[in-house]
Structure 1
């Protein structure tokens, strides 16, 4: 690979606590050789390939701290329901999908991305709504959060869910009122907790929550490996189009691993992909795949483990220490695991020296993670700072908990775009005092916590520019300021998706800044996020994404 000289643009190196600029960057063999003044850098190479930035802005490539690339690949073959604003429009989108795919009787119809908060009916649909439109097809639709969904009667039959099926641990099955089959149900209808009678025996209404939902999809037939691999390549291109060259698969089980390994073995991956084995049901992946553990093999490696401790704040399943608003019964959401189980997972990760990613949205779940980490460290004698555990989402984490996280070297990876997409919903679910503190990045940074930002794709697109805009401006889509005290500067937001994210992965010696010796991973932007008006950051576009000196995406 020829030496390349990048010049004539704004080059932000991300090497300092304050912005540090370079006039030129020299790369060779996929790595950075020099960064500094044009005269000094130009003198280090004879006849390099000249890359004139033409006034554009170059940064270290963005690093995705948390998402699910295999899920992103799978949803490319599903009906997209984000635009649904009523039951009728949701059904219309599913019917259009069935027609376009030429699906016949008995074929599965899968939709993804509906949000009951945006539907005119103000609730989840149920099996009766889906049955009326699709009596001869099993149907499953996934909520935008990925934590719940709805299926129709044929799908319930294939899943083996009947009125005698008990709620699984960490999940709930929606029930019709008194098992009447009349389509009226509190749990399936609103996504809120129902009374105990609706969580015991009774006719299922099609609504499935948390483990009841995630544990039932195995009956859905998967496309062939070659088709899935093509979809994975397409998903990778979506990340690359947003300037991301390190991508996560945030909960990898055996099927997801088969796809990722197939892609690596066939040299289909061009960005780096870091997989996290589901510790509670795919622990064996780390031991069975030594070539991928601790190092990349054809752009794929296993980074450690992942567990879930609770659900979704917009779906009202996140585990809180105080009740949701409008909950006379004092409903606080619920945990997935018992305290001793979480502690044992931490002990496993610490003893093996592997990183553990922990999904926590509610503050009760956050405390369960913090306590488990502290107790496991005491039991094993291991320093959590060596494995760098990560609290994924950390939506409702409290300021006192952030101080504890700093002591335990726990990274807070915030889904800060929640302020835009679901800020208005959080105001209803939590009240203003709690909602305005969601994703408290300012407090976390001030408390010395390593902070990163993610999109949890496919929940939303892996758009880092939009996320930076959200973190800097903190406004809801309804126009409500979402806690100006938790805003960060544009430079701090950039750090969260470059140098801080590299540290989260333990790859700070290879990625995250533009300095000699590191990989030539760059993103080139139309404008400078540090100098445009904060509300204009969202208009910035990715021009090119470069991985190890090779252009993998170029805006047409």
Structure 2
């Protein structure tokens, strides 16, 4: 047997403790068959030998918590991130311009605004949005996806009064000065707006574009944490049409929450269990929501948010209800993922998992708590005891950590995403971005874990810093563990898929502050080049016809 290709003269950081660093890799039929000198024995007349000029190579990054099709949908909406709309006036101008481009009555949708980063530190009001687009319903989601702002036309077309009552698990924010609805909609209140959905064909096309962004970031596997009927259909169709390049891990959206229809009962009725599928596309389990976000002041915390003495956040259900759901899911052999940000929500998630069945079965299932922002020492002990994965959105520190500092205060902000503590307790804690909440670039997350610095340069809890190696493991082998994928991906080892990335800088040798600026020069999925960047020019091979062993000019 001869290799299709041998990559040599590189610094392969394998994330495999048996061979931590290598200089050669042999690949055959999409998998690694030899490392270091062993690789040479697989060289044949037709083997392509590729010189990598001593560049750093890592396993393909694994995004352990994201919403890829939500991100794809955002590409079809107004982009209201701070980089593009630094003031409220800029947001309003984009809305006004869009209102001139589309027929009256069509929805204007946007995403990404962050009041904590806007220069005027506030959200657009209902009066301002109504003036900018009086004849179009407007709904603009905050970067956290837990809050939105709307105009009066949106209330009108959805049959809502001018000053709506709060629904269970949600809030229509009132202006303190007038007592009237301000335009800010929080949590379940967002579900009261019947926004037309994008079609399957629109989202498939957008996902092909989004997939290019993932490849450019060096991501080769992604966990989609909100899969419903439409998402399932899109992934299946893309897989059948050979346009799905990424490996995708599907977490089924269990209950009807946040405007998304749940699929729990259908999953039970069909007898679907965790692991159904193949190496490219498989079902992981059921996802439940317990609380909101820190940025939106809706996370369930024990102590009130800073300068908001009556607000300790929102929970979507009580303890008895989440217990019942988790127990039933376990009885149906489905893994559990629970969104728990604040310490109150983490406690509820732990209680639900602990009461769900046999302790040994619980440990074997590798259940997950998502985000795990503010665990207590007791929580850490119980997470470790039950072999629960702490799916840490550590990338938040860089992207939105400043809002955490403002909303939690210095003492609590020092304790967020405690990766040093996770390591101390032996907890597997894969890193993630929860994109589109934050940039999907995993090196922003690595930078966050290593430096604990925010985008504004503030440093949160240096005692929770970890090493570059541990931070990269959080996005590779630890993330693989979170999906029972460590036998096939997550490290560069014989028998595993040749999912790997070539970098323009070595994250182990550059200054810590420069890690966020590392760029990917090549992304390989199963031994084939899917993305290259040469002299600043991006080239993608994102369908079956164009996939090739193209190693030129690397």
1:194 alignment counterpart: none
Between the aligned partners of 1:314 and 1:460, the Cα distance in structure 2 is 12
**1:484 equivalent in structure 2:** 462
Checking the alignment, whether the CA contact within 8 Å between 1:360 and 1:392 is kept in structure 2 is: yes
Contact 1:292 1:301 in 2 (8 A): no
SS in 2 for 1:118: coil
C-alpha offsets along residues 402-432 of structure 1, whole Å, 9 cap, x if unaligned? 1110001111121112222333322222221
Q: How large is the RMSD of aligned CA atoms in angstroms? A: 2.2
Alpha carbons 2:127, 2:151 under 8 Å: kept = yes
Aligned 8 A contact 1:351 1:382 in 2:
no
Aligned match of 2:410: 432
Distance 1:293-1:236 versus aligned 2 partners, 3 A rule: farther
Q: Supply the distance in 2 between the matched residues of 1:58 and 1:298 (Cα, whole angstroms).
A: 23
1:115 aligns with 2:114: yes
- Per-residue deviation, residues 271-320 of structure 1 (Å, max 9, x unmatched): 11112111112114545778996244593222111111101111111100
- Structure 2 counterpart of 1:228, from 190, 194, 203: 203
Aligned counterpart, 1:541: 519
Q: Is 1:264–1:297's contact at 8 Å kept on the other side of the alignment?
A: no
Measured after TM superposition, the shift of residue 259 of structure 1 is 2.5
Alignment partners' CA distance in 1, 2:52 and 2:372: 38
2:528 is aligned to 550
Q: Give SS of 1:346's match.
A: helix
Cα distance in structure 2, aligned partners of 1:206 and 1:169: 18
Q: Distance in 1 between matches of 2:189 and 2:53?
A: 54
Instruction: Give 1:158-177 correspondences, 5 Å limit.
Output: 158-162=157-161, 166-175=165-174
- Does residue 216 (structure 1) correspond to residue 167 (structure 2)? The answer is no
Residue 188 of structure 1 is matched in structure 2 by none
Q: Does the 8 Å CA contact 1:359/1:393 hold for their aligned counterparts?
A: yes
Report the counterpart of residue 133 of structure 2 in structure 1: 134
Structure 2 residue runs without a partner (length 5+): 256-261, 538-554
Q: Give how far 1:160 is off.
A: 2.7
SS in 2 for 1:422: helix
- Find out whether 1:326 has 2:307 as its counterpart: yes
CA distance in 2, matches of 1:225, 1:326: 44
CA distance in 2, matches of 1:518, 1:295: 20
User: Does residue 41 in structure 1 map to residue 39 in structure 2?
Assistant: yes
- Within 5 Å, give how 1:12-411 maps onto structure 2: 12-16=13-17, 20-37=20-37, 40-47=38-45, 48-83=47-82, 84-99=85-100, 102-162=101-161, 166-175=165-174, 184=177, 204-213=181-190, 215-217=191-193, 219-280=194-255, 281-284=262-265, 286=267, 294-296=275-277, 299-329=280-310, 331-377=311-357, 383-411=361-389
Out of 162-171 and 313-322, give the one that drifted further. Answer: 162-171
> Bigger shift: 381-390 or 425-434?
381-390
Q: Deviations over 1:223-258 (max 9, x none)?
A: 332222110111111111111111122112223323
The alignment's TM-score, normalised by the length of structure 1, stands at 0.89
Cα deviation code 1:52-92 (max 9, x no counterpart): 11221111111110000110110001001112333211111
1 CA distance for matches of 2:318 and 2:269? 28
Q: Secondary structure of 2:508's match?
A: coil
**Deviation, structure 1 residue 206:** 2.8
Residues 372 and 390, structure 2, Cα contact 8 Å, conserved in 1: yes
Do the aligned partners of residues 284 and 258 (structure 1) sit closer, same or farther apart at CA in structure 2, a change above 3 Å counting?
farther
2:401 to 423, 431, 443: 423
Q: CA deviation at 1:22?
A: 1.1
- Do 1:311 and 1:319's aligned partners in 2 also have CA atoms closer than 8 Å? yes
SS of residue in 1 equivalent to 2:430: strand
What is the distance in 2 between the residues matched to 1:31 and 1:44? 13
Does the 8 Å contact 1:264/1:298 carry over to 2? no
How far apart are residue 164 of structure 1 and its match?
7.9
- Summarize the Cα distance change of 1:433–1:88 in structure 2 as closer, same or farther, 3 Å threshold: same
Q: Confirm or deny that 1:457 pairs with 2:435.
A: yes
Comparing 110-119 and 248-257, the one that deviates more: 248-257
1:130-175 C-alpha deviation (Å, 9 max, x unpaired): 1011100011100011101011111112223225854222111224
Q: Provide the rounded CA distance (Å) in 2 between the counterparts of 1:85 and 1:373.
A: 42
> Shift of residue 534 of structure 1?
1.2
Q: Is the 8 A contact 1:396 1:438 kept in 2?
A: yes
Aligned residues: 524
Could you say what secondary structure the match of 1:345 adopts?
A: helix
Provide the C-alpha distance between the structure 2 equivalents of 1:310 and 1:429, rounded to a whole number of angstroms. Answer: 16
